[in-house]
């Protein structure tokens, strides 16, 4: 039987930390950026953790 493959879309969107938490990009930073304040846009940069309900499903997609 062949090896299981990781989900290509999930690989690009999520990252698992060393402690096992799943991280994702913040939302609201793709378009309509003119009306958002600089402070708000700065706060939205970087990674945030995925909800505990979704984490097991995402880990399953990432496991190869």
Instruction: For residue range 2-36, list pLDDT tens digits in order.
Output: 999 999 999 999 999 999 999 999 999 999 999 99
Q: What is the pTM of this model?
A: 0.84
Q: What are the start-end ranges of the E strands in the chain?
A: 15-16, 22-25, 47-49
pLDDT at 64 over 80: no
50 CB-side CA count, 13 A: 18
Strand order in the sheet with 22-25: 15-16, 22-25, 47-49
């Amino acid at each position: 039987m062949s090896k299981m493959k990781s989900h290509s879309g999930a690989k690009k969107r999520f990252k698992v930390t060393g402690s096992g938490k799943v991280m994702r990009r913040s939302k609201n930073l793709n378009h309509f950026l003119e009306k958002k304040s600089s402070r708000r846009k700065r706060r939205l940069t970087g990674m945030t953790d995925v909800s505990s309900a979704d984490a097991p499903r995402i880990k399953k997609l990432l496991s190869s």
